[in-house]
Amino acid sequence: MQVAIDGPASAGKSTVAKIIAKKLSFVYIDTGAMYRACTVIARNHHLDYGDEEGILKAIDEDGIELRSENGEQKVYSAGKDISLEIRTPEISANVSQVSALPKIREKMVALQRKMAGETNVIMDGRDIGTTVLPNAEVKIFLVASARSRAERRMLDFQERGIETDQSVEEIEKDIAERDYKDSHRAISPLKKADDAIEIDTTNLTIDQVVDTILEKIKKNQ
């Protein structure tokens, strides 16, 4: 079974996907973490964020690996744990430019399909239902108001121990900019698949969202 969860930044995709993966013993794949890792690699190699060929070569050199350690998702590149680094505001501000590069997307999509393989998988991102796993049995499109997403991101920073001097208003502006770029790029823009179910999480608890998705999965099993 394949479950695709798409939606704009900080709509709660990874939070609910992780819980569902644990409950059902599905493999969880955070595709946003992969594009973030590409951005960290570009920065570490002092490359321009639009340098498609340079970044591709650097990704080949350093590699990107998602690992599950004690139930926690970790991202490794060049033998280093970059799980915290991929979440910094600098990387968030530049990831949309890197993820819009066609050859980078091609490489990540191939990797994502390979990781999904033949196992039960829940994958979150922007183009999972439309492009990566178009035959997924369950497709969810999570949305929430920009303000509530900014508040969640602020909380997320605090929980992960990432220091920020940004206000909630500034975070909201950054999120809106990223969503705009992700929805307006030429290749696989952020878009609800025709057969996806939209869930607005603004006024729902995490448990309510999880239960709604679990119900859809059960119906398809």
Does 153 bind ligand C5P (CB under 6 A)? Our answer is: no
- Tell whether 183 is in a known binding site: no
The one segment of 18-26, 61-69, 126-134, 159-167 that binds ligand C5P by CB under 6 A: 126-134
Instruction: Out of 4, 17, 95, 144, name the contact with ligand C5P by CB under 6 A.
Output: 95
Instruction: Out of 18, 36, 43, 152, name the contact with ligand C5P by CB under 6 A.
Output: 36
SS3 of the chain: CEEEEECCCCCCHHHHHHHHHHHHCCEEEEHHHHHHHHHHHHHHCCCCCCCHHHHHHHHHHHCCEEEEECCEEEEEECCEECCCHHHCHHHHHHHHHHHCCHHHHHHHHHHHHHHHCCCCEEEEECCHHHHHCCCCCEEEEEECCHHHHHHHHHHHHHHHCCCCCCCHHHHHHHHHHHHHHHHHCCCCCCCCCCCCEEEECCCCCHHHHHHHHHHHHHHHC
Does 201 bind ligand C5P (CB under 6 A)? Our answer is: no
Does 107 bind ligand C5P (CB under 6 A)? Our answer is: no
Q: Output the smallest distance, CB 218 to ligand C5P, in A.
A: 25
> In the complex with ligand C5P, which residue's Cβ is closer, 62 or 127?
127
The one segment of 41-49, 74-82, 94-102, 143-151 that binds ligand C5P by CB under 6 A: 94-102
Q: Output the smallest distance, CB 63 to ligand C5P, in A.
A: 18
- Tell whether 13 is in a known binding site: yes
Determine the residue type at 63.
Answer: G
Q: Which residues are annotated as a binding site for ATP?
A: 7-15
Contact residues for ligand C5P, defined by CB under 6 A = 9, 31-32, 35-36, 95-96, 99, 125-128, 178, 182
